[in-house]
Structure 1
Amino acid sequence: MTDQIQRFLLDGTNVRGELMTLDAAYAAVLDTQAYPAPVARLLGELLSAAALLTETVKLDGTLSLEVRGDGPLGLLMAESNPGGELRGIARLAEDQPLPDDGSGFRELLGSGRIVITLDPKEGNRYQGIVELSEDSLAGCLEDYFARSEQLPTKLWLAADAEQHRAGGLLLQRLPDESQNQDQDAWERSVHLASTLKDEELLGLEQRELLHRLYHEETVRVFDPKPLYFACSCSRERIARALHNLGEEELRSILEEQQAVDTQCHFCHTRYHFGAAEIEALIESPDAPAPTLH
């Protein structure tokens, strides 16, 4: 299995980590639209980051990462949940063609920000914002952790769109629980991880990679969790979105088209709502679809 996330601890230290790889899930996201290679690569990195952060914050709900910039790549978005479901999209700016050498993070996105949204099943929604002040997605997310005064966190992200492989490594320093902790563990573990090459992150089996990095440490490895592409769209969610357009807008569409046809941006599933269904939705987003004879 290559689509999975693996948690681990370095025993006797205050360092925890997560290691993940994507194969089929990344390929499924790329199959929804033909992205230019540098865009597909950044989307793979964002999917990896979403999976890592979801496992880190222990959220019972949905985590989304939305990157908006003023460059040729206007939007990157990825969503993840504790069940291992992932989805993502990218949108190019209509008025800015990709430069010939525009394969870098800042060349593609320009100036902008990352919006991190935690949407729990119960409780309040939370949003954090960080500016695109670094030269990589990993660097910007590390900046977010530093500014939000959370635990010290380091990220390594990589993706190969041609091979449909994406992966990531996250290290986090936990609060010292005793005076006997290995005081150099954090610096040592980060230094070793910084020697990691993209081809190793994308090509090695996870336990082999951990052994290469930390063969002088005692690594406690937990059961891996599978990751896969899945879209959370549904007819009910689309119906609620249409209801929110308001009566005037919906009646205008009906007058012009006699029905509403739409599709999910993430998976391209198409939804058709006839005139009678739209009339019912104007009254209530939860109105049952009429029975057609």
Structure 2
Amino acid sequence: MAEVETPEELLIKQHRKEKKDLQAKIQSMKNAVPKNDKKRRKQLTEEIAKLEADLNQKHEEEFQQLQSAADKDVEEAVNGVTALKVEAGEQEEAKQPRVTKAQKRRDKKAAQEKERESRIAEAEVQNLQGVRHQEGLKLAQILAQKSLQIKEISSDGHCMYRAVEDQLGQRSKSGLSFIELRSRTAEHMRNNSDNFLPFLSNPTTGEMFTADEFEKYCSEVEHTAAWGGQLELRALTHVLRLPIEVIQADSPAIKIGEEYNTEPITLVYMHHAYGLGEHYNSVEPLKNPANAEES
């Protein structure tokens, strides 16, 4: 007996077909424009970026509508059995085995992680029509001019270092992991404290970090998932002896380490990637560049 497809599976299948149809349309558009017509090819790149962004927005809205309907069904079901759960709760509680302290700690950690994931998912949905979507659209257009696109990096506190790791890997520049990049960043900051201490202050007193506070800061850079910022990027340019370019949606690109006269590695800084804070992504070559003159 054939399995019945769920609404989610049907929607995913529909989205795949629409993406396939769009790619066919894009290929037809590219074939219609001569490769030596640079102006038209540039316009075509922007048109393609908008078509893809519009389709992504449509798919996000449809998924949101499906999720809302599913949430409503779940809420009705929960309301229908609440009274039964309350009545059976006391009997069930008496049967439950005693929970150890270790198990309680594990349960608490799991609940905190689930809550964090829930907040991220909620922030994603809330931003579909807001600043996150607009920022993504602007970045797609900026990167398309460079024949680049965003390469997503996980949001785990290590995103800046993971993005640098990815950029180096694309160049086969080094085998440095994000953990090693953290360690070398902290080491450089410790060895050159005079260049970093003036920019760090105690949030309570407003005074410049003491030696102990600075060491704690460097230790967090090295051993925790503390988010990286411009100071750490500055340290990384010296560690790698490479300039780093940071592209943003609403501000000019920032280049750090310009004293190193080589091709920079490129990161994307997103102010509204998640409701929980800013985020760094890497970049990669545009998969279907309309202005690929050498293809």
Q: Which is greater in Rg? A: 2
Between Structure 1 and Structure 2, the one with more strand by share is: 1
- TM-score bracket for this pair, using the shorter chain length: under 0.3
Structure-1-length-normalised TM-score: 0.26
Structure-2-length-normalised TM-score: 0.26
Between Structure 1 and Structure 2, the one with more helix by share is: 2
